[in-house]
Amino acid sequence: MEKDRLRKLGLKNLKWLHKHPMLKEQKEREISQALFTDPCWEKAQTIAITKPLEFEFDTHILLAKGWESGKEMLMPVAGKDRKLTFHLIEPDTTFEKTAFGVKEPIEAPEVSAEVINLLVVPGIVFNHEGFRIGFGGGYYDRFLQDYQGETCSLVFSEQIQESWQVEAFDLPVKRLFIS
């Protein structure tokens, strides 16, 4: 399948970038600064992000800036029904590694998805129209079907691939921040 091949290429590119920490950190700073000065971030009071795997965009800078700015920061928990719930996290929130290798908050209060002003959507491969290929579980595609708030993704240029077929269930994010 085309998406499987692109997913493998995207993971290879992310892991290559992870082996070049100075370049990765520079790109993360550029992307973060673009996000922090954008109205979607400035207006948002409740922001949902993910806890990254080591080779993904390091969202800890977003947590620090969000808390410093008085924003509520949320992280997802994947349910057995393949649906995401979002939970309020604080600096002392405890995380647990799932079977997928992702760290999720435990004993953090669930928050209604309706209060999320900005959803930072993860992905492995993106095109410039905002369509994305994730890890293949469809969690974010299902969530985005009913989500009405602002969406964005933080993307390394190494993740951009234009030549793939978007499928009917794929939903784009509204804004990409790329470096």
Is position 29 annotated in a ligand binding site? Answer: no
Is position 106 annotated in a ligand binding site? Answer: no
What count of other Cβ atoms lies within 10 Å of the Cβ of residue 173?
Answer: 21
Does the reported pTM lie above 0.75? Answer: yes
d(CA 143, CA 99): 21
Is position 3 annotated in a ligand binding site? Answer: yes
Q: C-alpha dihedral over 146, 46, 121, 16, to 10 degrees?
A: -170
2-178: CATH class: alpha beta
Domain spans in the chain, listed from the N-terminal domain onward: 2-178
Is position 139 annotated in a ligand binding site? Answer: yes
What count of other Cβ atoms lies within 10 Å of the Cβ of residue 34?
Answer: 17
Is position 134 annotated in a ligand binding site? Answer: yes
Q: What is the pLDDT along the chain (179 residues), one digit of tens a residue?
A: 588 899 999 999 999 999 999 999 999 999 999 999 999 999 999 999 999 999 999 999 999 999 999 999 999 999 888 899 999 999 999 999 988 788 999 989 999 999 999 999 999 999 999 999 998 888 999 999 999 999 999 999 999 999 888 888 888 999 999 99
Is position 136 annotated in a ligand binding site? Answer: yes
d(CA 179, CA 167): 26
